[in-house]
Amino acid sequence: MSNSKSDFIDALKGFDLWSFLAWQDIKLRYRRSKIGPLWITLSMAIFCLSLGVVYSKLFHAEVREYVPFLSLGFVIWGLMSGMLSEFPNVFVDNAAFIKDIRMNPFAIIFRLMTRHVIIFAHNLLIVIGIYAIFQLNPGLEILYLLPGFMLVTLNLLAIGVFLSILGARFRDVAPTVQALIQVIFFITPITWFPKLLPTSSWVVKANPFVYFLDLTRSPLLGFIPHETSWLAAFVTLFIFSTLAAYVYQKKSKKIPFWV
Amino acid sequence: MVHITAKSLCLDYPIVGMGSQSLKNRVLSAATGGLISGGAGIPVVNALRSVDFEIAPGDRVGLIGHNGAGKSTLLKVLAGIYQPTAGHLMVKGRVVSTLNLAIGMEQEATGYENIVIRGLLLGMKRKEILKHLDEIAEFTELGEYLDMPVRIYSSGMQTRLAFATVTAMHADILLMDEVIGTGDASFIDKAEQRLKNFMSRSSILVLASHSDDTIRKFCNKALLLEHGLIIGSGAVEEMLEYYHQKAVA
């Protein structure tokens, strides 16, 4: 019988495998192109700067307030949306392995997530650039980033387990998620300040990404994340991981038949 | 102790994608009164139907039978790729499966990197692989090509690489789907020697093959499969004879 808990622990112990494969993915990107994953960083930086300058006029906001807000939010969004968009296809993409060798599904998910975290680390150059240009100093509040990031990553893992198994079974999940990501981008305060909406707006309240963003962006900007965000992220983690454990327990052994 | 026990082992292979894989169909069928619960309406192939067997240390078991008899499926179940639908399966020992050598190569990665990847996939630790790296590299005779991406290798070179890596493993239980055809003639003798060494280090061998000679050469027992059932088990010659009799009849 497959067991989500023991598979999870086994996969953690198999750190060797997925960390190597994730680094391999990054290495290959550098091999065929001069700056590799930094292309993503570069395009992100251009996006942030141009949008930042235009939108700050649109919103009548100070450039030095708006551009850091937008850029840091966008870098974090890049990590979240990158993972989300790849989850539904991750088992299909790894079908060659899954059908040929006993592979722990968690190891495949860890590989994907590690790769995205490494790309995210590249994009931190933008954060450093923003600090330098606007002479921002987040102060000690930046330490909140660590627990915040952990909590968000665990949430993404739980969502990932659920989406990847669902995506292996139903091929409509990938395009659906793709479309949802776009919607979430616009209804999440990345390009606009949350204060522009009335505080009771359900758009902000019911969207878990609002809290994920607060937990990670605020420390980078030198603010302490809101208490509600911690609470909400723990609640979503509980919901998502229950869902993930249920689906994994029920369906993970079917993956090799589906891909 | 290393051993394999199967009791009333069943494997149903669900065929998704025959009109039932899309979410839309699921939702529509729910709206029109179909069942949402899993399994309903998904065609299933009964690939293994309640098979029982026991494999002890020292056994070299040949799996024989027609195409689609369930040989490869059985190997995949033993390898832990497919989990049994029903029944009981106990596999004790480190399993190495070489079911498909060509698959799982990272085309852009170098030969050396692929050795490490494959070793890791087979459950070796990184240190263990690095210890064997020189020996594997030497056996492949690929020389400087090992620093180049596998993309430029010929298929024979890729097989050499995969073969050398797999056979460097230590395995208690070795599962093989057809013996590896290893390219050019000069290599075959060397490969066979290495294969024999590899097999002698593992205490159980399960080998599926359509070649009587291969079965005779490597196995001391045989299981005859037909339509997902084991219809005979015993000595190699006896089973091969039975198999050919049935084929004629």
pLDDT digits (tens, 9 = 90+) for A119-138: 999 999 999 999 999 888 88
A5 pLDDT more than 60: yes
The helix/strand/coil state of B203 is: coil
| Model confidence pLDDT, tens digit, residues B186-236 | 777 788 888 888 888 888 989 898 888 888 888 889 999 988 889 888 888
In this prediction, residues A227-255 reach a mean pLDDT of 93
In this prediction, residues B40-45 reach a mean pLDDT of 74
Strand order in the sheet with B86-92: B44-55, B3-14, B86-92
**What residue type is assigned to position B141 of the chain?**
E
Measured between beta carbons, which residues in chain A are less than 8 angstroms from residue B97?
100-102
* Contact yes or no for B43/B18 (Cβ under 8 A): yes
Residue with tokens 């680390």: A121
Residue with tokens 């975290």: A117
In this prediction, residues A194-199 reach a mean pLDDT of 70
* Contact yes or no for B199/B205 (Cβ under 8 A): yes
Paired strand residues for B64: B224
In this prediction, residues B109-125 reach a mean pLDDT of 88
Domain formed by B3-94+209-248, architecture: 3-Layer(aba) Sandwich (3.40)
Measured between beta carbons, which residues in chain B are less than 8 angstroms from residue A257?
13-14, 16, 82
Residue with tokens 């996006």: A47
| Model confidence pLDDT, tens digit, residues A63-101 | 888 999 999 999 999 999 999 999 999 999 988 888 888
- The shortest CB-CB distance from A258 to any of B16, B113, B126 is to B16
Q: Does B106 sit within 8 Å of A28, measured CB to CB?
A: yes
Given CB atoms, is A13 within the 8 Å cutoff of chain B? Answer: no
Residue with tokens 């019911």: A206
Domain that holds residue A144: 4-258
- Taking CA atoms, B62 is separated from A107, A187, B174, B221, B222, in Å, by 32, 61, 12, 6, 4
- The pLDDT, as a whole number, for residue B195 is 82
Nearest Cα of chain B lies from the Cα of A235 at a distance, in angstroms, of 28
B33 pLDDT more than 70: no
* b/e map A220-231, b = 16+ CB within 10 Å: bbbeebeeebbe
Residue with tokens 């359900």: A202
Q: Does B13 sit within 8 Å of A101, measured CB to CB?
A: no
In this prediction, residues B120-126 reach a mean pLDDT of 85
- The pLDDT, as a whole number, for residue B211 is 86
| Total number of domains in chain A | 1
Which of B108, B130, B177, B178 best tests the A interface by mutation, with the highest count of A CBs <10 A? B108
- What's the pLDDT band for A102 if we cut at 50, 70, 90? confident
Q: Does the structure's ipTM exceed the value 0.85?
A: no
Given CB atoms, is A10 within the 8 Å cutoff of chain B? Answer: no
Given CB atoms, is A251 within the 8 Å cutoff of chain B? Answer: yes
Paired strand residues for B4: B55, B91
B21 pLDDT more than 60: no
* b/e map A48-65, b = 16+ CB within 10 Å: bbebbeebbeeeebeeee
Please tell me the distance from the alpha carbon of residue B139 to that of residue A231, in angstroms, as a whole number: 58
- The pLDDT, as a whole number, for residue A32 is 80
Give the DSSP letter string of B104-144: T--TTSBHHHHHHHHHHHTT--HHHHHHHHHHHHHHHT-GG
- The pLDDT, as a whole number, for residue B37 is 41
Q: Does A16 sit within 8 Å of B120, measured CB to CB?
A: yes
Q: How many CB atoms lie within 10 A of CB A43?
A: 11
Radius of gyration (C-alpha) of chain A in whole angstroms:
19
| Model confidence pLDDT, tens digit, residues B49-66 | 889 999 998 899 999 988
- The pLDDT, as a whole number, for residue B36 is 38
Please tell me the distance from the alpha carbon of residue B246 to that of residue B224, in angstroms, as a whole number: 11
Query: Which residue in chain B has the smallest CA separation from A11?
Result: B123
Given CB atoms, is A93 within the 8 Å cutoff of chain B? Answer: no
Q: Does A102 sit within 8 Å of B80, measured CB to CB?
A: yes
- The pLDDT, as a whole number, for residue B121 is 85
- The shortest CB-CB distance from A100 to any of B100, B108, B120 is to B100
Question: Would you kindly state where each structural domain of chain B is located, as residue ranges?
Answer: 3-94+209-248, 102-169
Q: Does B126 sit within 8 Å of A24, measured CB to CB?
A: no
Q: Does A257 sit within 8 Å of B14, measured CB to CB?
A: yes
